[in-house]
Structures are given as C-alpha cells and as structure tokens.
Structure 1
Amino acid sequence: MSKPPDSSRRSERSRRAILDSALALVGEVGYNKLTIEAIAARAGVGKQTIYRWWPSKAAVLLDASLALSGEAWTETGWSGFPDTGDLAADLKSVLRATVDEFADPRYEAPARALTAAGATDPELAARFTEQLLEPQLALYEARLRTAREAGQLAADTDVRLVTEMLVGPLTYRWLMRTGPLTHAFTDALVDSVLGGVAGATAGGADDVAKVTVR
C-alpha cells in the first residue's frame, strides 16, 4: 500500500516556489507591477495559497529576501561573524561580501523594492528592521564588543555608533547611487572608521581615540 503524500513537504515546495517566483518577478517587472496573481501563476499555485501565508506582496518579498540573505551568508562559509583576531580584516571581509550581495541582481531588486515600500508602510518597515536589519547589525556589534574587550577599542566605545558608521555610508552609496560600490571603497571605509576610534598599535592608552557612549 502506497504512503499518502507528505503534505508538509508539498507545502514547503509551494512556499519555496512562491518565494523564488517573487524574487524573479520583481527583478523582471519591478515592484510596482508585481502582483500576487503573477507570483501565483509563476509558482504554479492558487492565489489563496499565497494569502493563506502572507497578507501582501510586500510580505512575500520580505520573506523571500530573508531566505536569500540567509543563503548568501551560508555561501560565505561563515558560521557567524568572522573573528580572526584582526578586527579590520574581519570587517573588510564582511563588507566586501555585502558589496558582492548588493551587486547581485537577485538581491538588489527586492532590497530596493522593500526599501521603497517601507517608506510608506510603517508595519513593513518595522518587520524589515526587526527581522532583517537588526540581526545583521547585532553581528557587527558583537564583533566590535569582542574587540573592545580585547583592548582594541577604547573601553567606552559605543559599538552601535561604530556599526552605523560602517554600514551607513555603504547603504547610502548603494541606495542613492552616489558612487561605485567596490571592495576598495569598503576597505577605505573600514580604515577611516577604525582610524578614528582605535588607538595606534604603538600608542599608549592616551593615544586611543574614542567614540564614547552618550
């Protein structure tokens, strides 16, 4: 006697097809022309299947972006934020990977779409921040905190502020297209930020430049 179909596997296949279809379509037609009907048709599911899991196309796209971001991190081979003991090298590695991700059309189109949608949808913006942005920023903060504990940064360095000093210019350049996103840019960014907050190797405690908690 044959086994009945595994509904959980079927549901996961449908869910994956929906997410993949949303990512593909937003790259092809843009966010404004993206519809639930088109996603359903591309995924080979009924429209109600999508609405059973997501309330809107923005919600579908957010989950698709979360899945894509997780895959991109996995592809780096890192189990967490790299910690080689060399703070500058670790930050450069992660920011270089971020540049590569921004350059990937699979990521760029949905990321820009979500950024635009979040400007007029506070609930979506809150979910984007909570589920995608804050977990990423927390990884930076944890690595900077480790460096602070190791004496590589001043004891009262504001790790959140330093994180935003690293991520902010990169995001601005990507969003506003004010210049090319390159590894050279992110390397220079890391050097500039750390040059302002970390002491010189040969310097003493009095030489440590501080970005302090306010």
Structure 2
Amino acid sequence: MLNAADDLLVERGFAALTIEGIAQRAGVAKQTIYRWWKSKVDILLDTLTDDAREALKWHVGTGAGAEEDLKAHLRRVADFFQEPAGQVLQALLGHAQLDDDTSASLRAGFLREQRERDVAGLRDLLAGAETTVDDRGLDHLVDLALGPLYFRVLVFGAPIDKELVDATARLTLTLARELEAGGS
C-alpha cells in the first residue's frame, strides 16, 4: 500500500491521489486502508518516514575525512529529492502550507525525527574531525548544511548540483572550526 501511494503520487500528483486509487493499485479494499490510515496524508507520512530512515542515514567515519563524508551525505540528500520519497516530502511540505493538520503532523513526526538524526549525524562527523560545537552552534550548522539544498529544490524546483554540495560542505566545516575556536 505504501509503494502504491508513492507510485501514484509521482504519476498523478498530490491533488489527484485518492484512497480509492491507492486501494486499487495495491489490490486491496478501501476499508483495508482505512483500518490503518485515516487519510492519504497519513499514508504518505508513513511511507516518507520509512523511506527516509535509510536514504537519509548519516555515514560518518568512513576514512575519507569529514569533508568527504559530509559531501557524501549531502549528495544522498540531493539524490533523495529525485526519488519518489523525496517527491512525497515535497508534496507534503507544499500541502502543509495550506493545511494546519498536515503541517503539525509533518513537524511533530518526520521533520522532528529527521532533524534529530541530522543533528546527531553532524555531531558524530565533527567529533571524528576532533571539532566540538555547542548545541546551539550545531543546530545552526545543520541549517547551513541542509538549508541551501532544500531551498534549491523547494523554492526554485531545480536539481542540486555538485558545486552546491561541495561549497556547502566546505562552508559548514569552516564555520564549525570557527565556532569551536570562538567558543560558539
């Protein structure tokens, strides 16, 4: 059912996605879907959470160095936006601008959990580079590292290129070293 929801969203868009369509594509009765989810938004939130958990996982300490590990993670984020799960995120973020319940669910669930993973991942990456930044500074660094990517995709609808990834990784690590030296 989750795969059917992903596929139909990519094929038809958010507005045309229906529980009936998901049920038909998955080969189940509508009632089966309603036993688990109350709306298409709930289905999409579950599929997004499942897909992102692995796709947006941080891999640090690979031996390539902090900058290369950060670039690799940012490339995974860029690739994610091109996948069906990334399109689900884009659709939910767009819908959340118009629907308070979707906004609250997205922020309390997926976005909060992903932010926690991003903070922990960047903290681990910096620790491997023997750089320590306080929680407030780390929070700002996560914004700096991911903000340009989200901006490029969500505001301009443009792909994320290698130059943006490389510059963002370099600037994030430069600022991390400055925050450590300056005491945040």
Paired letter, 2:172 = V
Residue identity (%): 33
Q: Does 1:36 align with 2:19?
A: yes
Report deviation, 1:97: 0.9
**Distance in 2 separating the partners of 1:100 and 1:165:** 18
- Greater CA radius of gyration, 1 or 2? 1
Report deviation, 1:142: 2.1
- Match for 2:102 among 112, 120, 124? 124
1:173 corresponds in structure 2 to 152
Q: Which deviates more from structure 2 when the two are superposed, residues 34-43 or residues 116-125?
A: 116-125
1:24 corresponds in structure 2 to 7
SS in 2 for 1:123: helix
SS in 2 for 1:189: helix
**What's the TM-score, normalizing by structure 1?**
0.73
Higher normalized contact order (CA 8 Å, seq sep 6+, divided by chain length): 2
Unaligned stretches of 5+ residues in structure 2: none
1:198 corresponds in structure 2 to 177
Q: Are the counterparts in 2 of residues 19 and 60 from structure 1 also a CA contact under 8 Å?
A: yes
Q: Deviations over 1:125-182 (max 9, x none)?
A: 2322233222222233224434259642456861111111111111011101265412
| Displaced runs of 4 or more, over 4 A | 148-151, 153-157
How many residues are paired up?
181
Q: RMSD of aligned C-alpha atoms?
A: 2.6
**What's the TM-score, normalizing by structure 2?**
0.84
1:65 corresponds in structure 2 to 48
Q: Are the counterparts in 1 of residues 95 and 102 from structure 2 also a CA contact under 8 Å?
A: yes
